[in-house]
Amino acid sequence: MPYVTVGKENSATIDLYYEDIGTGQPIVLIHGFPLDGHSWEKQVLVLLNAGYRVINYDRRGFGNSSQPSFGYDYDTFAADLNVLMTQLDLQDAVLVGFSMGTGEVTRYLSKYGSERVQKAVLMAPVPPFLLKTEDNPEGVDQSVFDGIMKAIVEDRPAYFSEFFKAFFNVDVLLGKRISNEAIQASWNVAVGASAKATLDCVPSWLTDFRDDLPRINVPILIIHGDADNILPLESTAARLPKLIKNSQLVVIPGGPHAINWTHADQVNPLLLDFLQG
C-alpha cells in the first residue's frame, strides 16, 4: 500500500494512503467528509476507461491514512495535497474535489498556484463561506454546527446514521439511486475514521474562502444538486460563478449532496466533457 509522509506526531509519522493507477493525464480525486478515496468508485472506473491516470488519497484522519490528533484545517489539508502533488511530480493535473475536498482544491490553488494544475472541478462545494455573519447573510447559523459537534461527541455512530439520510436524500432516492447496502458501506467507513478528526473537521467547514477564490486562475467546473440537504445550493455553489474567473456552474435537478454516487450517470459525462474540452 503506497503512502506519502506529511508530518510527525510524537514517535509516529503522519502518512497519507493513496492510489495511483492508469496512465495519461493525472486526475486527483479529493473525497468528502466522512468518507475516503474509495467513495469515488463510480468516477474511477469511467476515468480509467477514458484513458486517464487516476490518483485518489485518504485525507488525514480518514480511511487508511494516519489519524493524528491535529492538522484538521485547510492550510494543513492543502499542505498535505501539495506534498502528494510534489512527491508524485504531477504535471498538467486536474484536481477534482467533492464537498469537503473542494476546500483543499480552493486553498491549494490559492496558496500553491497552478504550476502543476491545468483545471479543476468543485463538486457540491463548501466555498465561498458557509458561516452566517453580518457580511455573509447567505451563510448558515453557527448553532447548526454547534449541534453537529454536540451530536458527534454524544454518539458518533448514531450521528452518522442520521447524516447519511440527508447525504443521500434517502427519503426520496432509496431503492432508486441509492441502496441500503451502499449506505451501510458509507457508514462503515465513517465510523472507522478518527473520532478527533470527525469532530475537528466541523469547524474547518466554516473557513472563509472569499479571499482565495479570486486567486484561482485555471478553468473551473462547478457541479451541485438543487436538492442538497447538507450544503444548500444558494449558500454555496450558486455564489461561485461571480467569485471565480473562468468558471461554469451546472445544477443537477433533484441531486442530493452525494451526486457523485446517486447521479453518476449525469455527473460523469459532465466531468469527461470538461476534461476533454
* pLDDT class of 118 with cuts at 50, 70, 90: very high
Question: Which domain, by its residues, includes 65?
Answer: 3-276
- Which residues are the active-site residues? 99, 228, 257
Please report the pLDDT score of residue 277 as a whole number.
87
pLDDT at 167: 98
Residue pair 104/24 in contact by the 8 Å Cβ criterion: no
C-alpha–C-alpha distance, residues 174 and 183, integer Å: 9
Rounded CA separation 67/179 (Å): 29
CB-CB contact of 31 with 58 (8 Å): yes
Q: How many domains does the chain have?
A: 1
What would the pLDDT profile of 14-70 be if each residue is shown by its tens digit?
999 999 999 999 999 999 999 999 999 999 999 999 999 999 999 999 999 999 999
The answer to whether the bond into 128 is cis (omega within 30° of 0) is yes
Cα 106 to Cα 128: distance, rounded to the nearest angstrom: 9
**How large is the average pLDDT for residues 71-100?**
98
Stretch 153-169: mean pLDDT = 98
> How far are the Cα atoms of 38, 144, 260 from residue 264, in angstroms, in the given order?
14, 29, 5
Mean pLDDT, the chain, as a whole number?
A: 98
Mean pLDDT confidence for 79-83: 98
Residue 277: exposure state from Cβ atoms within 10 A (0-12, 13-18, ≥19): exposed
Q: What contacts 10, CB < 8 A, 6 or more positions away? A: none
Strands (E), the chain: 3-9, 12-21, 26-30, 53-57, 93-98, 117-123, 220-225, 247-252
Whether the per-residue pLDDT at 1 is higher than 90: the answer is no
pLDDT tens-digit profile of 57-75?
999 999 999 999 999 999 9
The CATH number given to whatever domain includes residue 248 is 3.40.50.1820
Separation CA 160–CA 163 (nearest Å): 5
**Spatial separation of the C-alpha atoms in residues 172 and 73, rounded to whole Å:** 33
Q: Are 180 and 230 in contact (CB under 8 A)?
A: no
Q: Strand 93-98 to strand 26-30: parallel, antiparallel, or no bridges (unpaired)? A: parallel
